[in-house]
Amino acid sequence: MTTHVTHWIGGKPFDGEAARRGDVYEPASGRVAGTVDFAGREEVDAAVAAAKAAFPGWRDAPLSRRAQVLFRFRELVSAHRGEIARLISAEHGKVISDAAGEVARGLEVAEFACGIPHLLKGGFSENVSTRVDAYSILQPLGVAAGITPFNFPAMVPMWMFPVAIACGNTFVLKPSEKDPSASVRLAELWAEAGLPDGVFNVLHGDRAAVDGLLHHPDVKAVSFVGSTPIARHVYATAAANGKRVQALGGAKNHMLVLPDVDLDLAADAAVSAGFGSAGERCMAISVVVAVDPVGDELMAKIRERVAKLRVGPGDDPRSEMGPLVTRAHRDKVASYLDGGVAQGATLAIDGRDPDVLGGANGGFWLGPTVLDHVTPEMDAYKDEIFGPVLSVVRTGSYEEAMELISANPYGNGTAIFTNDGGAARRFQNEVEVGMVGVNVPIPVPMAYYSFGGWKDSLFGDSHAHGMEGVHFYTRTKAVTARWLDPSHGGVNLGFPTSG
Ligand code: NAD
């Protein structure tokens, strides 16, 4: 059985014929499980027009009404979290418990956005001049677009649209074409929650859909999450077209292990954060930096743990790690193994022929892999691999490790593992990375803080969700008001000052 996924525009599935379609795979078996329509100019125009038409009504909807719709949406997503997790797992490959985890983290942003009446409070100053008051109000922008990656088909869109919609904007989501079904299910749940038609739209497709949104004069803001080259393109194109833009890019997250730490805990963390979701997380640990003399002992402990990992289909409850998203991606990730060895690394654990629960069945499998003695000149160190390949770099000192981590062009996440509070404090103070974990390997900020890296991991000024999200999706208006009385008569050409 195959499925067919189409756009969601104006509160219902789009009924036009697609000129182009893409295949959607089931990564655990390698079979084509369905097709997805790809938007061209006509569909982009239809989605943006629906969002534009819905804007005046939604902008003027009272805050209490917007909050009520959000509360209902939150309840519906929560009630359907198992079903959404299964949709994600089937198209992405990640295990169902992990998919349920991403739905839970996305829900936290919806919960944050339920507080919108409080979050949108402006400031008020009475009597800034004689009988003059000043205040600020936060107003929505209009149509906002979100362009999201394959690796979190529910959570990353939910970093964006609950906040954008709560602020009074309307939204066009362009999810990844690799796993498009979860976004359509979320659209149906919005409709069931009572969101007016056109406030939330889903447009499927590839570069043509994205570029259509980036050039559309009625799109006022663009949020992007994906790889660094595309983030750069989106940032430059959207900004050149006068749009507000935040573009979150790729990552190379280092975990610094100091010699004083409990190595069992550090090995647990490195294996969990390196191989969870087959390493296809922007906050996955991809480089372990072991400060001498712990490298060999840490490697032995990592090896013990990796040997016990169970690789298998996402819907088998025994599986801890699923397949990669496509064959092309699996092969690209695997190419770093021979490449790393050719450049001098040691292939400490080779995942190319994993034991798969229930058999490989043509799926896109690559087991947990560890490259040891990796050095900064190697491609395996420089590139974002985005798969189950953990690199281990040995360094002589804390200073050398810090220099390495801060010099990396990416600056998404990093973690330090130590029992030394002073070292940890210095690390969080000095390291050139946007999100830092202290004995926490995947330091994804809570919904009421903001998510975003530094350097090549984020282009723009605002991080996602939290108050930075509220500011991204609103513009501030400052009002100065005086209610006239006769004592203020008379012309005065001087510059207004208080008094
Ligand atoms: P991607 O950059 O290939 O795709 C992201 C989105 O851009 C998709 O919707 C895709 O359809 C679209 N796109 C792809 N090519 C395009 C082009 N040439 N022009 C315009 N649009 C294009 O990323 P991906 O492979 O889906 O996701 C993995 C990447 O996302 C990794 O680099 C990962 O680090 C990154 N990521 C970053 C974060 C973060 O918060 N910084 C979070 C999740 C994922």
Q: Please give the sequence-ordered ranges of beta strands (E in DSSP) within 130-275, or none if there are none.
A: 132-140, 143-147, 170-174, 200-202, 219-225, 244-248, 253-257
C-alpha 385 – ligand 1 centre gap (Å): 13
> Is the CB of 227 within 6 Å of ligand 1?
yes
DSSP string covering 441-484, please?
A: SS-PPPTTS-B--EETTEESS--BSHHHHHHHTEEEEEEEEE--
Q: What tokens appear for 463 in the block?
A: 């991080």
> Is the CB of 286 within 6 Å of ligand 1?
no
pLDDT in tens, 416-436: 999 999 999 999 999 999 999
Q: What integer is the mean pLDDT of 168-196? A: 98
> Is the CB of 252 within 6 Å of ligand 1?
no
pLDDT of res. 183: 98
Contact 278, 387 (CB under 8 A): yes
Q: Ligand 1: which atom is nearest the Cα of residue 159?
A: 40
pLDDT in tens, 229-246: 999 999 999 999 999 999
Cα dihedral 372, 374, 380, 382 sign: positive
Q: What is the DSSP pairing of strand 132-140 with strand 474-482?
A: antiparallel
Contact 85, 94 (CB under 8 A): no
- What is the C-alpha to C-alpha distance for residues 163 and 467, in angstroms, rounded to an integer? 9
Q: What is the DSSP pairing of strand 458-459 with strand 410-411?
A: unpaired
Q: Please give the sequence-ordered ranges of beta strands (E in DSSP) within 241-345, or none if there are none.
A: 244-248, 253-257, 285-291
Q: Which residues, at least 6 apart from 58, have a Cβ–Cβ distance to it below 8 Å?
A: 66, 165, 168, 169, 170, 196, 199
Q: What integer is the mean pLDDT of 237-260? A: 98
Contact 106, 163 (CB under 8 A): no
Question: Which residue's C-alpha comes closest to atom 22 of ligand 1?
Answer: 207
From the list 384, 390, 382, the residue with the least C-alpha distance to 349 is 390
pLDDT of res. 121: 97
> With pLDDT > 70 as the criterion, what percentage of the chain qualifies?
100
Average per-residue pLDDT in the chain?
Answer: 97
407 residue type, one letter: A
- What is the C-alpha to C-alpha distance for residues 497 and 495, in angstroms, rounded to an integer? 6
- What is the C-alpha to C-alpha distance for residues 491 and 499, in angstroms, rounded to an integer? 16
Question: Which residue's C-alpha comes closest to atom 40 of ligand 1?
Answer: 248
Q: Is 114 a catalytic residue?
A: no
Please say if the pLDDT value at position 499 is more than 80. Answer: no
Q: Ligand 1: which atom is nearest the Cα of residue 250?
A: 34
Please say if the pLDDT value at position 96 is more than 80. Answer: yes
The structure tokens 């989501």 sit at 173
Q: What integer is the mean pLDDT of 179-193? A: 98
From the list 452, 461, 53, the residue with the least C-alpha distance to 244 is 461
- What is the C-alpha to C-alpha distance for residues 299 and 370, in angstroms, rounded to an integer? 9
Q: Ligand 1: which atom is nearest the Cα of residue 149?
A: 26
From the list 251, 252, 289, the residue with the least C-alpha distance to 270 is 289
Cα dihedral 78, 54, 223, 112 sign: negative
- In DSSP terms, which residues pair with 120 in a beta bridge? none
> Is the CB of 174 within 6 Å of ligand 1?
yes
pLDDT band at 485 (very low <50, low <70, confident <90, very high): confident
pLDDT of res. 497: 85
User: What is the 8-class DSSP label of residue 6?
Assistant: -
> Is the CB of 39 within 6 Å of ligand 1?
no
350 residue type, one letter: D
pLDDT of res. 496: 85
Please say if the pLDDT value at position 206 is more than 80. Answer: yes
298 residue type, one letter: L
Q: What integer is the mean pLDDT of 409-413? A: 98
Please say if the pLDDT value at position 155 is more than 90. Answer: yes
The structure tokens 């959570």 sit at 155
> Is the CB of 207 within 6 Å of ligand 1?
yes
C-alpha 381 – ligand 1 centre gap (Å): 20
Rg (CA), the chain: 25
Stretch (H or E) spanning 417:
strand 413-417
Of the listed ranges 240-249, 399-408, 483-492, the one predicted with least confidence: 483-492
CA distances from 99 to 109, 314, 406 (A): 16, 9, 32
> Is the CB of 247 within 6 Å of ligand 1?
no
C-alpha 263 – ligand 1 centre gap (Å): 34
Of the listed ranges 5-9, 16-20, 137-141, 363-367, the one predicted with least confidence: 16-20
pTM: 0.97
> Is the CB of 457 within 6 Å of ligand 1?
yes
- What is the C-alpha to C-alpha distance for residues 73 and 56, in angstroms, rounded to an integer? 21
Instruction: Measure CA 271 to chain center.
Output: 22
- What is the C-alpha to C-alpha distance for residues 148 and 172, in angstroms, rounded to an integer? 11
Question: Which residue's C-alpha comes closest to atom 34 of ligand 1?
Answer: 250
Given 282, 287, 298, 402, which residue is catalytic?
282
> Is the CB of 453 within 6 Å of ligand 1?
yes
Q: Which residues, at least 6 apart from 148, have a Cβ–Cβ distance to it below 8 Å?
A: 156, 157, 160, 173, 174, 175, 176, 224, 225, 226
CA distances from 25 to 28, 202, 320 (A): 9, 20, 20
Q: Ligand 1: which atom is nearest the Cα of residue 150?
A: 26
Contact 155, 464 (CB under 8 A): no
Whether residue 140 is preceded by a cis peptide bond, meaning omega within 30 degrees of 0, is: no
pLDDT of res. 484: 83
pLDDT in tens, 443-469: 999 999 999 999 999 999 999 999 999
C-alpha 367 – ligand 1 centre gap (Å): 23
C-beta neighbour count of 344 within 10 angstroms? 11
Cα dihedral 205, 211, 215, 221 sign: positive
pLDDT of res. 73: 98
Residue from 36, 148, 176 to probe ligand 1 pocket by mutation (most atoms less than 8 Å from CB): 176
Q: Which residues, at least 6 apart from 115, have a Cβ–Cβ distance to it below 8 Å?
A: 67
Q: What integer is the mean pLDDT of 349-371? A: 97
Report the 3 state secondary structure along 110-166.
HHHHCCHHHHCCCCEEEEEECCEEEEEEEEECCEEEEECCCCCCCHHHHHHHHHHHH
